[in-house]
Structures are given as structure tokens and as C-alpha cells.
Amino acid sequence: KKQEPLRVMISGAPASGKGTQCELITKKVSLFGMDDDPLGFWFYISEYEISVLESLSTNICVIDQYDLVHIAAGDLLRAEIAAGTENGRRAKEYMDKGQLVPNEIVVTMVKERLMRPDSQEKGWLLDGYPRSLSQAVALKGFQPDLFILLEVPEEILVERVVGRRLDPVTGRIYHLKYSPPETNEIAARLTQRFDDSEEKACEAAAAHSPSKCGISSVNVDGSVSKEEVFAQIDGALTQLLEAKE
């Protein structure tokens, strides 16, 4: 059963856990029996586990709970860099220094992605945008239902940046201490993001103060475990869905 699509923005300093939480939000599924009765529990599982479940029983139907298109400003920029475009080359100069990329590059890119049919139909989860009042104003016409702000003290942010690792094969984010890789094979191929360093984390944390612009917003304590952070976000999104119904 499809509800009216949700439009959500998630913001916070670098390494506050936006990407981690977006992964949990987009992975949360609900299970239904053939008679459409909810089976009574919810959890987040991988695509592989879903395919195993579906092959075990035809009586189970797995439905994405939020089914939102995850749009991360940083990922869009990294894709431009990887594609070797002029915008990517210019963006990299700023990203290497932990500075915001100029609006003329970011705004158009984010707007174009928000206007694509999948975002319009399913709803979206916009990650890392807006990061300034001018970016919020530029996005007029794309009003979110909810703005989530992850609040994390600076000393924890630095620890998270320094321990963060990227799996270049799956794009998954790990942390050497808090979210270690599942296998030695994955551990061996992990890389550090080019803009991750203690010094850059401190500089950028001060610059990335999100503006709320009168939108319905929720402040989330992002300093606790990722499951506890998710519980707060999940509660806010569930309330929002109920209010929409």
C-alpha cells in the first residue's frame, strides 16, 4: 500500500552519521503475510537476505517501509569527480580543503536529481543539503515534510572521521571501531575518503551549520550508538507518516 511520498532532509556536521542513518532508513522493511496482515515486526535487512526470505516462502511479502530515494549532495559531487567532468574538477578543489563547493555547481545538480521521476514518485531523502541559507532559498518549491538535524559534539566527530573507511566495491561506509567490516576480505580493500582527516573535520564542522528556514524540524542526539540514533529518527518518521494518513 503506497502512501503519499515523504520528503525528508537530513543535515549535520561532517561525520555526524548522515550516510549511516540514510542507509538504515532506506533499508528498513516490513513483512506482510498473504492476507495483507502485518507480521508484526520490522527490521532492516540486506537485499540478499530479502531474496532468501522470499525464496523460502511465497506467503511472505517484503515491503520497503519508507521507500525513499536517497540523494546525497556529497555522493553527487564525488560522482562528478569520478566522471572527470569540469564541474567535478572544480568541486574537488573545494572538497580537498573541506570547504563548501560553490552554489552554482551544487544547486543545479541537486535540483536535477530531485526532479527525476523516481524522486517525484517515491519521495526523497536529501542528505547534506542545504548547508546554508542561500542553498535553502535556492531550493524553493522543494519543501520537505521534515528536516532532521543530527547533533554530535566536535570531539566525537573527529574520532569518527579518523576511523571512517570506505568499501570501494560496495560503497558501504565502515568505522574501524564502531562499525568494523564483516570479513577479512572486505577489511583488506577498505580505503580512506580523500577528504577525511582530523584537521579538515575541525575546519568543516564550524562551517556546516544548517539553516531550518521555518520547516518542521527535529533535533536528534547523534552521539549515541547508530541503532539508538535510528530509533529517534524512525520515531519521527513514523509520526510523520501517521500525520499524513
| Binding interface with ligand AP5 (CB under 6 A) | 12, 14-20, 72-74, 77, 94-95, 98-101, 106, 128-129, 131, 135, 160, 163-164, 173-175, 178-179, 195, 204, 225-226, 229
Name the residue nearer to ligand AP5 (CB basis): 45 or 100.
Answer: 100
What DSSP element (H or E) covers 173?
A: strand 173-175
Report, in Å, the least distance between residue 182 CB and ligand AP5: 13
Integer Cα distance of 243 and 5 in angstroms: 13
Report, in Å, the least distance between residue 5 CB and ligand AP5: 22
Report, in Å, the least distance between residue 2 CB and ligand AP5: 28
Residue 17 region by backbone torsions, left for phi larger than 0, else alpha for psi between -120 and 50, else beta: left
Name the residue nearer to ligand AP5 (CB basis): 87 or 135.
Answer: 135
Name the residue nearer to ligand AP5 (CB basis): 106 or 233.
Answer: 106
Report, in Å, the least distance between residue 59 CB and ligand AP5: 36
Report, in Å, the least distance between residue 32 CB and ligand AP5: 30
Name the residue nearer to ligand AP5 (CB basis): 29 or 106.
Answer: 106
H-only helix segments in the chain: 18-27, 47-56, 73-83, 86-96, 103-115, 117-122, 133-138, 154-163, 184-189, 198-207, 226-244
Q: Which of 122, 168, 148 is nearest to 18 (CA)?
A: 148
Name the residue nearer to ligand AP5 (CB basis): 74 or 144.
Answer: 74
Q: Which residue is nearest to ligand AP5 (CB)?
A: 74
Name the residue nearer to ligand AP5 (CB basis): 53 or 81.
Answer: 81
Report, in Å, the least distance between residue 238 CB and ligand AP5: 20
Residue 170 region by backbone torsions, left for phi larger than 0, else alpha for psi between -120 and 50, else beta: alpha
What does DSSP assign to residue 227?
A: H
> Which string of b and e fits 10-48 if b means at least 16 CB within 10 Å?
bbbbbbbbbbbbbbbbbbbbbbeeeeeeeeeeeebeeee
Q: The C-alpha cell of 55 is what? A: 525464496
